[in-house]
Amino acid sequence: MAERIGVFVCKCGPNIGDRIDVDSVVAEAEGIEDVVTAKSHNLLCSEDGIRFLQEEIRKGGLTRVVIAACTPKQYEQKFMRACEGVGLNPYLLQMTNIREQCAWVTPDPAQATAKAKSLVRAATMRATLQEPIEKKEIEIHPDVLVVGSGVAGLEATLTLAQKGRKVYLLEKSPCIGGLGARFEEVYQTMECAPCMLAPELQEVLQKENIEAITYGELEGVVGSYGNFTVKIRRKARYVSEEACIGCSACFEPCPVEVSNEFDEGLSKRKAIYIPFAGALPNVPVIDEANCIKLKGGECNACQEACPFDAIDFDDQDRIEEKRVGAIILATGSTQFNPSSLAQYGYGRFDNVLTGLELERLNASNGPTGGKILLKDGREPRSVAFVYCVGRKEKGHCSGICCMYSVKLAHLLKEKIPGVEVYSFYTDLCLPKKEHQRLYEEVVEKGVEFIRSNGSERVSRDGKGLVVEYKADSTSKSLAVDMVVLAPAIEPNPDTAKLAAILDIPLDERGFFSEEHPLMKSFGTPLEGVFIAGCCQGPKDIGDAVAQGGAAAGRILSRLIPGEKLELEPIVAVIDEEICGGCNTCISICPYSAISRDEEKKVAVVDDTLCRGCGTCVAACPTGAARAKHFTNEEIFAEIREVVR
């Protein structure tokens, strides 16, 4: 049956009408096959114009509509709704742009009119070939993936879980809690960090709708907001989480000793270990790289020691897929390595530590059970802090190092009576309402703040250390037992890996880039993907928690269970009769929307994932892949008419 096409040319007041001979364009349209009505209108987008259009569609029983007017970017949606309103599938409308891309750029009226005619012919011939497309909706997935279980991830997880959301909390290390779990006390409250975190950690492990996956990593993500499929690798623990009761009988017999990364290398651990006393979940892991048995040798000391048969050397990595509607990244940060700056002697001299190392020495779950000791076992009598290590190199102030150094100075003064504490700084950053007070307190306790020009140099002198520095334009030196550096905070290497997996940008420093640095510091440019905590930039616990809460709140207010998500209607389809099963499209699709039907040996497009870019259509050697609304035939028709 022949189509009944209506062509409507808008004058847009004088905008089109003054440059283009609209009547002759209408006349041209009238001459095209199957065009049953061609008319002009002064302002098609006006209320009157829309009424006119709908009346024409109804009256003429039109099956295709062509509108020659302004850019479709302006009113295409409005005209589509108008068609829908009178029962015409909106994809049977074709607009052509005779204003921005014709009348306004072509000074000569004759040429503008000729171009407009060709554009109208192209749109009309194309419209004949267009097919109705039905809108599709899917239900959103209200579940959420949180990556990283530091304070930011914990807050996000618990906020979401409180509202009944299912949350997958994915943690890379064997235990949850992040950096905070490794501190003894935290500013500004100077309370016990493990005690502060314990209730949260317990809740995460016990709450029914939270699935904490430790020793796991994110391997891949496909899909989009409301409908992500995430691939998670659960690394083999070689210890059954169900059978193990955490009795620790297996550690002692293990003959392997390696440096413990959770104590910043200040202690040794076995090949079967938990990161530190009290780490949760209280289930050890066997470190594949160091275990004799797993490296192919002879040993099963831990298995013999385990009274509960929890050791399983045949354990294997497992890949699991989860469907979630949103993702929060809370993977924290790392610290600038001061050994690259030789002047500080870090890595060369004993008793030159980083702040984090001192945190571990001070922690009752740390290598010395909380005793702050020099390498030779003595208590330090004098300690010098050096602030801003690597600030110049990194080009940013990390904002927390001054405060944690002040905190550590405070702790030293409390723990070791009579210890002398010096703090070398160039600038002090004490921004929050309680920070100044804590600083004044340590000054009162006798911590000496020395403003230098940042040229500190550490050398060894017998058993001790010497800090050479320049203050008030004179070179001075100071002998101390211990030097504590405050290195800049920098992105951890996983940041770039995750950015690549999720296809989200990094900022120039390598942290995740936010949707807006002020208004949406917890969002990313990718809808449904959020960031919280130090992976967005250095910050203290309070700010990290606030971002975790903000991201969770945004999800709770936007990703509502039961709500529908409209899918992109302009997708690709693959004709299984033609598809040769070459897999070209599968590898080229930027959204992993195409998979292989092994039975039929053809490629299939998942239209919940396809965004309709047409890349597969261009790449398909057989012509089996077709882009809805942008088929070859439709584009060929346009080409034919625009060159005619």
* Nearer to ligand SF4 (CB atom), residue 236 or residue 589: 589
What span, in angstroms and rounded, lies between the C-alpha atoms of 10 and 19?
12
Of 7, 69, 93, 102, which one interacts with another protein (CB under 8 A)? 102
635 phi/psi in degrees, rounded to 5: -70, -40
- Asked whether 12 and 99 are in contact (CB, 8 A), the reply is yes
DSSP 83-122: HHHTT--GGGEEEEESIIIIITT---HHHHHHHHHHHHHH
**x/- string (CB under 6 A) for ligand FAD, residues 384-413?**
----------------x---x--x------
Residue 516: burial class (beta carbons within 10 Å; 0-12, 13-18, 19+): exposed
Q: Rule CB under 8 A: say whether 131 interacts with another protein.
A: no
Q: What is the DSSP string of 27-86?
A: HHHHTSTTEEEEEEES-TTSHHHHHHHHHHHHHHT-SEEEEEES-HHHHHHHHHHHHHHT
Question: What is the DSSP secondary structure assignment for residue 225, as one 8-state letter?
Answer: T
Considering CB distances under 5 to 8 angstroms, the limit depending on partner class, which of ligand SF4, ligand FAD, another protein, none binds residue 180? Answer: ligand FAD
| Contact characters 379-418, another protein, x per CB under 8 A | ----------------------------------------
Distance of closest approach, residue 16 Cβ to another protein, in angstroms: 11
- Contact between 364 and 315 under an 8 Å Cβ cutoff? The reply is no
Place of tokens 């000496």: 448
Please identify, using beta-carbon distances, which residue of 91 and 404 lies nearer to ligand FAD. Answer: 404
Q: Which residue has the tokens 């530190």?
A: 276
DSSP 8-state assignment for residue 341: S
Determine how β-strand 564-566 pairs with β-strand 137-139: antiparallel
Q: Binding marks (x or -) toward another protein, 478..507, rule CB under 8 A?
A: -------------------------x----
Work out whether 171 is an interface residue with ligand FAD (CB under 6 A): yes
Residue found by looking up tokens 């039929």 in the block: 600
Pick the binder of another protein from 27, 110, 500, 560 (CB under 8 A). 110
Tell me whether residue 484 or residue 610 sits nearer to ligand SF4 (CB atom).
Answer: 610
Contact 4, 38 (CB under 8 A): no
Q: Would you count residue 222 as binding another protein (CB under 8 A)?
A: no
Does position 533 interact with ligand FAD (CB under 6 A)? The reply is: yes
Interface ranges with ligand SF4 (CB under 6 A): 254, 256, 271-272, 286, 291-293, 299-302, 571-572, 589, 591, 593-594, 605, 610-616, 627
State the amino acid at position 398 in one-letter form.
S
Indicate which of ligand FAD, another protein, ligand SF4, none lies near residue 605 (CB less than 5 to 8 Å, by partner kind).
Answer: ligand SF4
Q: Output the smallest distance, CB 111 to ligand FAD, in A.
A: 59
Provide the mask over 560-599, with x wherever binding to another protein is found by CB under 8 A and - wherever it is not.
Answer: ----------x-----------------x-xx--------
User: Per CB under 6 A, does 237 bind ligand FAD?
Assistant: no
Rounded to 10°, the helix 541-558/151-162 angle is 30
Closer to ligand FAD at the Cβ: 41 or 410?
410
Q: At what angle do helices 401-415 and 355-362 cross, to 10 degrees?
A: 40
Q: Are 123 and 97 in contact (CB under 8 A)?
A: no
Q: Which two tokens stand for residue 350?
A: 């004993």
Q: Write down the least CB distance from residue 138 to another protein, Å.
A: 20
SS3 category, 255: coil
Question: Residues 201, 155: contact at Cβ < 8 Å?
Answer: no
Q: x/- contact string, 271-310, with ligand FAD (CB under 6 A)?
A: ----------------------------------------
With binding defined as CB under 8 A, does residue 508 bind another protein? no
148 vs 545: CA distance, rounded Å: 13
Using CB under 6 A as the criterion, what x/- string covers residues 316-355 for binding ligand FAD? --------------xxx--x-------------------x
Strand-pairing partners, residue 474, are 471
End-to-end CA distance of the chain: 27
DSSP state of 568: P
The site string for another protein over 46-75 (x = CB under 8 A, - otherwise) reads -------------------------xxx--
State which of residues 6, 49, 90, 150 lies at the interface with ligand FAD (CB under 6 A).
150
CB of 180 to ligand FAD, least distance (A): 5
CA 147 – CA 535 distance, rounded (Å): 11
Size of the site for another protein (CB under 8 A): 46
Q: Which stretch binds ligand FAD (CB under 6 A): 145-153, 293-301, 474-482, 502-510?
A: 145-153
Contact call for residue 129 and another protein (CB under 8 A): no
Query: Contact, 187 vs 438, CB < 8 A?
Result: yes
Dist CA 610 CA 630 (whole Å) = 14
Of 202-221, binders to ligand FAD (CB under 6 A) are 217-218
Evaluated on CA atoms 174, 176, 180, 182, the torsion sign reads negative
64: closest CA among 28, 36, 97? 36
Choose from another protein, ligand SF4, ligand FAD, none: what does 186 bind? Cβ within 5-8 Å by kind: ligand FAD
The site for another protein (CB under 8 A) is made up of: 71-73, 97, 99-108, 110-112, 114-115, 118-119, 122, 503, 570, 588, 590-591, 611-615, 617-619, 627, 630, 632, 635-636, 638-640, 642-644
Contacts to ligand FAD by CB under 6 A: 147-153, 170-173, 178-180, 183, 186-187, 217-218, 330-332, 335, 355-356, 359, 400, 404, 407, 494, 498, 533-534, 539-542, 544
